[in-house]
Amino acid sequence: MSGGRLRLSVNGRPTELADVPPEERLLDTVRWRLGLKGTKEGCRTGECGACTVLRDGHAVLSCLLLARDADGAAITTIEGVRSDPVGERVRAAFESAGALQCGYCTPGFVMALTGLLREAGRSTPLDELLEDLGGNLCRCTGYSTIVRAARAAREGLP
């Protein structure tokens, strides 16, 4: 089966790709076609959150989204988060809280929290925000530094 054209804005840059197979996941497009390796593949089933990116400002699991279903969308990966004021606040909070650990899950957490805070800001109670992050897994920490980072990022919003 031949592929089609895909038009995206990726980290603020217009991007057009040819011959994208209809079954290609956005994760594969981002990592292998565009070389943005910060978006990780963990489980391939949407259970770990390591592949989280923003699609039009909302957190999505790129391992579950076909690239063709993102046609015309604005995609932000961890590489582009510095150009987003909320994303930069989250990234800085993770760094200052020491929530980086091995770093494999960190991009997914940063992107998920960025999406949640962009949608709700400070209005979401911290316990609800943390519950919403429950779809992101870390295999090498007790989550305390991630909770500190989430709290700091949320509290620093206007």
Residues 6 or more apart whose Cβ sits within 8 Å of residue 83: 11, 12
Res 3: pLDDT: 81
pLDDT tens profile 94-134: 999 999 888 899 999 999 999 999 988 778 888 988 998 99
Q: Residue 74 is which amino acid?
A: A
Q: Where are the beta strands (DSSP E) in the chain?
A: 4-10, 13-20, 52-55, 58-61, 74-76
Res 157: pLDDT: 72
CB 81 within 8 A of CB 110: yes
Ordered structural domains, the chain, with CATH? 4-80 (3.10.20.30), 81-155 (1.10.150.120)
Distance of CA 7 to the CA centre of its chain: 19
Res 103: pLDDT: 85
Res 121: pLDDT: 79
Q: Which residue, chain included where needed, has tokens 């150009």?
A: 83
Given a cut of 70, the residues of the chain with pLDDT beneath it are 1-2, 158
DSSP structure string for 130-154: HHHGGG---SSS-SHHHHHHHHHHH
